[in-house]
Structure 1
Amino acid sequence: MKLEDKKTRFLITLLIAFIGGVVFTFLHIPVPWLLGPMTAVLIGSRNWVIRVYWPVLIRDAGLIILGYSIGLSFTKEAVIQIAGKLPLMLILTLMLISFCAGIAYFISKLSGIDYPTILVGSIPGGLSQMITFSEEVKGINITIVTFLQVTRVIMIIFLVPFLIYGPFFKNSTSGFTIDIADNAVQALLSSTGLLFAAVCIICVFLGKKLKSPTPFLLGPITGAAILTLSGLHGPEIPNFMLDLSQFMIGAYIGLLLKPEKLQHKTKILTLAIISGLVMVLFSVGLSMLLVHYYEITPSTSILSLSPGGADQMAILAHEVHADLAMVTGFQLFRLIFIFFAVPPVLKFIFKKKRLKQKETPI
């Protein structure tokens, strides 16, 4: 009975997500097969009559498709270009994280919520890592952390496309295109395509074994990049499969926001939106510096520095033909930096704060 219930809920969610994609396509909204399903499922999940359901395995499959496509962009020339910008990546990452820490301080004062909770909820680009970290540290409100992280991600996924497709960037929308070409599908099923697929899947399992950040995205990127750098040329992903990957990821994101579990919803939501807007404006300012000092297009620059997720920014980079390797390089550098460097630093800070509170006489 439970299995049938899940199947029914999934089919209803699938229909809702598909309708969202179709509506956003007809309305010529940017990246309709990411934003459409996400919006439709987000609205559907607020309806108590319909209990929406989207298996995480489908989201993971979408990430594998996207990761493979990103990995193909890591040519030798692209890797050399990214390697030369590693010091810049570190500086800009530190600037963005420091700015977010400052914003978190003001949000903490305005909301009355303890600073550690707001800080962990404000760290950009590490949604799953920060939620996991909040479970490990005593005194942090995981519900608020999850709400802040998810609100930021959803806001950025909505805001950045409209910035990118605005008059300043001069990009055009690319609605749903059905291009199920026989040669593209045959190329994916060729010996080279199957080799790339096998290596990508192996890298996913290795990533999970090593507990790497977002293994379903980072694994295929690593596998496809290694084979590409070795001289092999993997078949390109056809547009309809990229749209499908957006659909699979977008519907899952729509399920993440759960305001009903939060106290003082209006106040926290307002502050979360304001902090998200300020983060986006700051990242746009940093991106203009990048454009000024390097030969990088505005689209590539803002997608590289946007405080969103690597997968969502890569989808947008695909859509506007930005430098995919550069965007992914910046986003993954920040993701890995946050994964390895930020939690130990936060634990040290919080430990010192707790010791100081114990030493303070009442």
Structure 2
Amino acid sequence: MKNVLITGAAGFLGSHLCDRFIKEGFHVIGMDNFITGDKKNISHLEGNDNFQFIEHDVTEFVKIEGELDYILHFASPASPIDYLKIPIQTLKVGSLGTHNLLGLAKAKGARILIASTSEIYGDPLVHPQTESYYGNVNTIGPRGVYDEAKRFQESITMAYHRFHGLETRIVRIFNTYGPRMRLNDGRVIPAFMGQALRGEDLTIFGDGSQTRSFCYVDDQVEGIYNLLFSDYVEPVNIGNPHEISIKDFAEEIIKLTGTKQKVVYKDLPIDDPMQRQPDIALAKKILNWEPKVTREEGLKITFNYFKTLSANELLKREHKDFKNHIRK
């Protein structure tokens, strides 16, 4: 049985990856410090002989006993509400955390896959975004703490590959959604659905002409899984290329939820990207991958999940206290 370490295991995407690798017959070691993850996301794995959990902050030295075949590094705040609250921790997990895990991979002779993001493209001047595009990023803006952490992450990963011959993979993740997302975490889908379920008006930042492309979590996990076992070492976009404006998307959510809310407009945040659409030609070519789940189908599943949440969870505004986790 092969052993795989998944950091950020209690997060939205990390928990789905744990499920997938257990299903494929791996022994999964999940790691998280719960700064943004949720124990409920992995509670169903308690008692599973093929799952082991370690509560740990990867910015500190990471020690794993025994053999380790693969590492998937998904430990990072990934939503604006998180990385704007904890900017230093976001930078540290992308730099120190990645360095620690690359060192662990080198010591164990393990292949490591790094979770990067479409945010490395910033507010893109090229559309759709291909892996060869270098991006348009404000390094000192509020979002720079996340963008630059991920850009550094890619750089050090490729340095380890070139200098040490380490087996590395890099996935650039575009907007992903599905069950286990947190309501009101600053991302479009849970924010809109949470407002609809509470009977609030839907909030659009800017005039709504900015675009996004949403990939259902099962498709995203499939792409990541295929990339890990491919022979390709440079970054690969994994996302859904079907683009929609935020204004049109809000109308889709209103129709889906059967609510009668209005749409209200607020100022656009600094450096918020106006366009986001992946070019997935490379993923199609080298991974034989493209998304299968339609937005209509995925949104229904996600909305049904949110409807199962308790009234307290729906009313909560995610004002989580991070004081216990914050270091200077």
> TM-score, normalised to structure 1's length?
0.22
The structure richer in strand per residue is 2
Q: Relative contact order (alpha carbons < 8 A, sep ≥ 6): 1 or 2 greater?
A: 1
TM-score by length of structure 2 reads: 0.24
Which entry has the higher C-alpha Rg, 1 or 2?
1
